[in-house]
């Protein structure tokens, strides 16, 4: 983790001089490199079963923003602290711990809407531009506060903070103003999007209850105390409204990301059939496919059908699995199984189509695509897939080899691919120097 901090710190210092106003192009470059670093260190969770819901909520809210500044992109951070934050260029990160704390979709929409406010109101470049100089110590504080769960639960779990969005530990009074503005922004777009605006209040009250009373003065904290934000929102909290979308998301988080022991604790709190769905997902993940089939058999949800297909595939019943797997686009594991069936059927082109959406998210998908592109004699794309695979597995020397080979065909590549490869090169070089 110390190495990660050093890499991000170096990247920010090299990319941006606070003496110059941050342009949209600066934001894009900073965000792109930061995300590449997070990816390389395994801090971003790529599971479409979960991230699809996060992104769909952001898209739903964005439809009700007049002249949105960004195309908002949601990411899930593998950290159990209760946190959400925004970085330049409209990227929003939700910690795993936050998904376990919310009680309905309205609360999650409130959190996302708050971070979208930081982005749309351009708090991030404002906070940077307000500084004539950002010290190394301040930047370290930003990064540590964002990426590492604090040992002090009164700070780490009591508050939602946007550490780059609010310029953590830099002009805290300015940051608190941002928090109130983002809360108001969130309340307005929640109303326009038919969400319950009091969901954010419920969430803040629960955080306050969960964390207890902090003895630190408010000006030491990046965000205002929860009770001040609750009062400012002026919205009495209503009862929670967990629906199918919420319980499906919750079942996915519990069944696909938690350890068996911890998952069982959460599963016992869930209503039928979502307790069975979470258990079935967990059993597939653990390789207990017969148990998974029994649990998922009578659940009339697309996810349950797809994972029944995955359980059948793992038991060798590919003919029965195929119709259940086909057409389900929210799971890398489902599409890996589908691709292997298609490859046996001699349908390599269809296998590639099934895997492409997961190439950046799943190591096996990237490696399989490398093989498929190689067999199809699409050499540039084969090198790109192998470069991504070795980069994600930490074999930087092999990744650099394939990046160089892919860039040999630079004139034939899309500009975004070229930028991605060159960013990977920079990260590899910095890692070798660290």
Per-residue confidence band for 237, with pLDDT thresholds at 50, 70 and 90: low
pLDDT tens string 42-53: 789 999 999 999
Which of 123-132, 208-217, 315-324 is the most confident on average? Answer: 315-324
Clarify whether residues 271 and 293 are in a common domain: yes
Structural domains of the chain, count: 3
Residue 174 has pLDDT above 90, yes or no: no
Tokens at residue 281, please? Answer: 């997902």
Report CA torsion sign: 123, 424, 422, 374: negative
In a domain, 348, yes or no: no
| Lowest pLDDT segment from 282-286, 297-301, 344-348, 414-418 | 414-418
Cross-strand partners of 91: 73, 87
256 domain-assigned: yes
Alpha-carbon gap, residue 78 to 97, rounded angstroms? 8
Residue bearing tokens 């998908």:
365
Calpha distance 400→352 (Å, rounded): 24
The residue range of the domain holding 369 is: 359-434
- Does the structure show a pLDDT above 50 at 419? yes
Mean residue pLDDT of the chain comes to 81
Judgement on whether residues 335 and 363 belong to the same structural domain of the protein: no
For 395, the token pair is 């074999």
Predicted TM-score (pTM) of this structure? 0.82
Q: Which of 294, 318, 343 is the last residue of a domain?
A: 343
Q: Which two tokens stand for residue 167?
A: 């310029």
Domain boundary among 288, 314, 343: 343
The verdict on 166 and 264 lying in the same domain is no
220 burial (CB, 10 Å; 0-12 / 13-18 / 19+) is exposed
Give dist(CA 333, CA 148) in Å, integer.
29
The answer on pLDDT for 139 being more than 50 is no
Do 412 and 324 fall into the same domain? no
Say if residue 156 is in the same domain as residue 95.
yes
Q: Is residue 325 part of a domain?
A: yes
Residues 29 and 162 in one domain: yes
Window from 173-177, 299-303, 383-387 with minimum mean pLDDT = 173-177
- Please indicate, yes or no, if residue 238 is contained in any of the structural domains: no
3-state DSSP call for residue 303?
A: helix
Which has more confidence, 152 or 83? 83
Does a structural domain hold residue 354? no
How sure is the predictor about 21, in pLDDT bands with cuts at 50, 70 and 90?
A: low
Boundary residue ending a domain (313, 343, 373): 343
Do residues 279 and 409 both lie within one domain?
A: no
Examine residue 111 and state whether it is found in any structural domain, yes or no: yes
What confidence score (pLDDT) does residue 310 get?
98
Asked whether residue 349 is assigned to any structural domain, the reply reads no
Q: With contact defined as beta carbons under 8 Å apart, do 224 and 184 qualify?
A: no
**Is 34 inside any structural domain?**
yes
């Amino acid at each position: 983790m110390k190495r990660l901090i050093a890499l991000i710190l170096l990247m920010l210092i090299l990319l941006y001089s606070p003496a110059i106003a941050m342009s949209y192009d600066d934001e894009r470059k900073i965000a792109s490199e930061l995300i590449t670093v997070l990816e390389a260190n395994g801090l971003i969770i790529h599971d479409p079963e979960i991230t699809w819901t996060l992104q769909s909520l952001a898209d739903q809210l964005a439809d009700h923003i007049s002249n949105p500044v960004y195309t908002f992109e949601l990411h899930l951070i593998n950290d159990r602290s209760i946190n959400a934050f925004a970085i330049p260029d409209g990227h929003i990160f939700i910690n795993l711990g936050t998904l376990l704390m919310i009680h309905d979709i309205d609360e999650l929409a409130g959190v996302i809407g708050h971070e979208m406010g930081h982005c749309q109101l351009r708090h991030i470049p404002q906070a940077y531009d307000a500084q004539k100089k950002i010290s190394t110590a301040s930047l370290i504080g930003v990064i540590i506060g964002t990426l590492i769960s604090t040992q002090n639960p009164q700070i780490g779990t009591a508050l939602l903070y946007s550490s780059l969005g609010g310029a953590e530990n830099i002009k805290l009074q300015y940051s608190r103003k941002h928090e109130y503005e983002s809360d108001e922004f969130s309340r307005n777009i929640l109303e326009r999007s038919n969400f319950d605006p009091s969901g954010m209040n419920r969430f803040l009250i629960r955080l306050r209850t969960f964390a207890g009373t902090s003895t630190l003065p408010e000006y030491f904290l990046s965000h205002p105390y929860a009770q001040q934000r609750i009062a400012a929102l002026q919205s009495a909290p209503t009862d929670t409204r967990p629906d199918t979308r919420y319980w499906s998301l919750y079942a996915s988080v519990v069944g696909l990301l938690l350890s068996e022991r911890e998952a069982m604790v959460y599963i016992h709190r869930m209503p039928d059939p979502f307790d069975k769905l979470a258990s079935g997902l967990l059993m597939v993940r653990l390789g207990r496919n017969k148990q998974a089939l029994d649990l998922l058999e009578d659940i009339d949800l697309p996810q349950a059908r797809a994972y029944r297909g995955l359980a059948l595939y793992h038991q060798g019943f590919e003919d029965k699995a195929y119709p259940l797997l086909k057409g389900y686009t929210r799971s890398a594991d489902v599409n890996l199984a589908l691709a292997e069936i298609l490859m046996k059927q001699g349908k390599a082109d269809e296998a590639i189509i099934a895997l492409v959406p997961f190439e950046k998210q799943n190591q096996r998908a990237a490696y399989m695509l490398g093989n498929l592109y190689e067999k199809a004699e699409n050499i540039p794309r084969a090198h790109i897939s192998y470069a991504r695979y070795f980069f994600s597995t930490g074999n930087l020397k092999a990744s650099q080899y394939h990046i160089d080979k892919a860039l040999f065909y630079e004139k034939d590549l899309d500009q975004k691919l070229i930028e991605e490869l060159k960013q990977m090169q920079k990260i590899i070089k910095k890692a070798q120097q660290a």
